[in-house]
Amino acid sequence: MGVTPPPPSSGQPGVTGQDGTGNQGPDAQVGGGDQAQSQPAESLGHGTTNKGKPIPEGCWFKKIHLDFGSVVENTQDKDSGEYPFENKTGKDQLITNFSTSCKCQNVKFIINGVEVKYKRKPTPDQPLAEPIKIPKGAKGKIVMSLDLSGAASERIAEIRVDTTDPDMPSFTLTSQANILAAFLVEPEVQDLGQMGPMEAKEFVFKVRSNIVKDGSWQITEKNPDLPSGMKLDSMERKNDAKGFYYEIKGHYGPDLPQGAMGGDVIFKTNDERHNIMIRVTADVQYRVVVTPRMAVLGAFSNKIAKEEVFYVLPNKRGDMIHVTGVDVYKSSHPKDAYTIEIVPPGKEDGKMVSVKGIKDPVPSHVVWKVVVRTKPGIKAKTFRVKGRLVFQEKGIAEKQIHVIGFPKNF
**Predicted model pTM:** 0.54
Q: What is the CA radius of gyration of the chain?
A: 34
**Secondary element (H or E) of residue 368:** strand 368-374
Residue 406: pLDDT band (50, 70, 90) is very high
Please compute the mean of the pLDDT values over residues 107-119 and round it to a whole number.
94
Residue 197: pLDDT band (50, 70, 90) is confident
Asked if 333 and 313 touch (Cβ cutoff 8 Å), the reply is no
- pLDDT tens for residues 163-192? 999 999 999 999 999 988 889 999 999 999
Residue 210: pLDDT band (50, 70, 90) is confident
Task: Give the lowest-confidence range in 106-110, 138-142, 195-199, 318-322.
Answer: 195-199
Which amino acid is it at 250? G
CB environment 378-393: b (16+ within 10 A), e (fewer): beeeebebbbebebee
What proportion of the chain, given as a percentage, has pLDDT over 90?
60
Domains of the chain listed by start with CATH number = 65-180 (2.60.40.10), 183-284 (2.60.40.10), 288-408 (2.60.40.10)
pLDDT at residue 247 in the model: 97
The SS3 call for residue 366 is helix
Question: Which residues contact residue 62 at a Cβ distance below 8 angstroms, ignoring those fewer than 6 apart?
Answer: 55, 83, 84, 85, 86
Please compute the mean of the pLDDT values over residues 22-39 and round it to a whole number.
37
Long-range contacts at 20-23 (CB < 8 A, ≥ 24 apart): 20/77, 20/78, 20/147, 20/148, 20/149, 21/147, 21/149, 22/103, 22/104, 22/105, 22/106, 22/147
Mean pLDDT over each residue of the chain, to the nearest integer: 85
pLDDT at residue 2 in the model: 41
pLDDT at residue 123 in the model: 84
- pLDDT tens for residues 211-242? 887 778 899 987 788 999 999 999 999 999 88
- pLDDT tens for residues 147-159? 988 777 889 999 9
The SS3 call for residue 265 is strand
CB environment 266-302: b (16+ within 10 A), e (fewer): ebebebeebebebbbebebbbbbbbeeeebebeebeb
DSSP string, 73-135: TTS-SEEEEEEEEE--SSS-EEEEEEEES-TTEEEEEEETTEEEP--B-SSTT--BSSPEEE-
- pLDDT tens for residues 274-302? 889 999 999 988 889 999 989 999 999 98
> Is residue 35 scored above 50 in pLDDT?
no
pLDDT at residue 114 in the model: 95
- Rounded CA-CA distance 352/34 in Å is 64
pLDDT at residue 68 in the model: 94
CB environment 214-247: b (16+ within 10 A), e (fewer): eeebebeeeebeeeebbebeebeeeeeeeebbbe
